[in-house]
Amino acid sequence: MGRLNVRLCGIELDNPVIPASGTFGFGYEFAQLYDINCLGTFSFKGTTRERRFGNPTPRIAECTAGMINAVGLQNPGVDEVIGKELPQLKKVFHKPVMANISGFSLEEYREVAEKLEAVDQIGWLEVNISCPNVHGGGMTFGTQPDAAASVVKAVREVTKKPLIVKLSPNVTDIVAIAKSCEDAGADGISLINTLLGMRMDLRTKRPVIANVMGGFSGPAILPVALRMVYQVYAAVKIPVVGMGGVSSAEDVIEMMLCGATAVEVGAANLVNPFACRDIIRDLPAVMDRYGIDILEEIIGGGHLK
């Protein structure tokens, strides 16, 4: 293994940098800009059983040091993802990819997972129980330990692929939910998804977003994400994928010191489509600056003994 390599749920990555679901499409759009095989992997657009248009517009609002989105899991549905999107991706990305899945019932999670289980391109299933932008699904399952565990158990029955459960920060005790997912059979935990936020339009005196509230992401949420990654790493024995406000190589190292095995980059891709490429390019020099020889050796290194 090289300086940047890490192992995530038994699968080796060339580096720990992973574009987050919903910010990188199905990859091939970014492949027109640079060779996306430089990535560790990426988590493709959140996928449900049926095609979803998403929430009504407007569904994006700018904020200081971040943004709010309420896209609402817009996607073509799992059958089209398997039949069209993944074959197109295979032409430009030659590594295992992470499938982000969501649902509005245990049956839907099971069905989507079962279909993706048969796809060799898929390395991991990232089970999203944390989307704040849909009603009756997503985050509904991620706010209580028992509900979160029920999703993990349902998906575990139909797949042997590594399950990484994506958690919401919009909860009272994220550690309890993470431990419940681990006990139910999760192979990893990813966190955090977006914080719940909103903006008001002073001209119309109404909410900017048609959905009223949406997911707040961007550099402003990094300290919250670091705190939660630190807490969850200390409580579970499975790998943690950290995300939330990451936009630089320094942020990646900070996440890893808190306990992240790999690090997802989200909103930064929407500001700068070359963000992940640039972070990977910058990592060796930043490692040298801080006396880090092997990146994998610093995972959890910031915890007090």
Length of the chain as a residue count: 305
Q: In what order do the strands lie in the sheet with 163-166?
A: 17-19, 260-265, 240-243, 188-191, 163-166, 122-128, 97-101
Q: Residue 190 class from Cβ within 10 Å (0-12 exposed, 13-18 middle, 19+ buried)?
A: buried
Distance in angstroms (rounded) separating the CA atoms of residues 255 and 257: 5
Q: Which residue has the tokens 């300086």?
A: 3
Beta-bridge partners for 216? 68, 195
Q: Are 199 and 208 in contact (CB under 8 A)?
A: yes
Q: Residue 63 class from Cβ within 10 Å (0-12 exposed, 13-18 middle, 19+ buried)?
A: middle
Q: Are 154 and 125 in contact (CB under 8 A)?
A: no
Q: Are 41 and 19 in contact (CB under 8 A)?
A: no
Distance in angstroms (rounded) separating the CA atoms of residues 171 and 194: 12
Q: Is 63 a catalytic residue?
A: no
Cα–Cα distances (Å) from 214 to 54, 74, 96, in that order, read 12, 14, 31
Q: Which of 131, 181, 258, 276 is catalytic?
A: 131
Residues acting as catalytic residues? 131
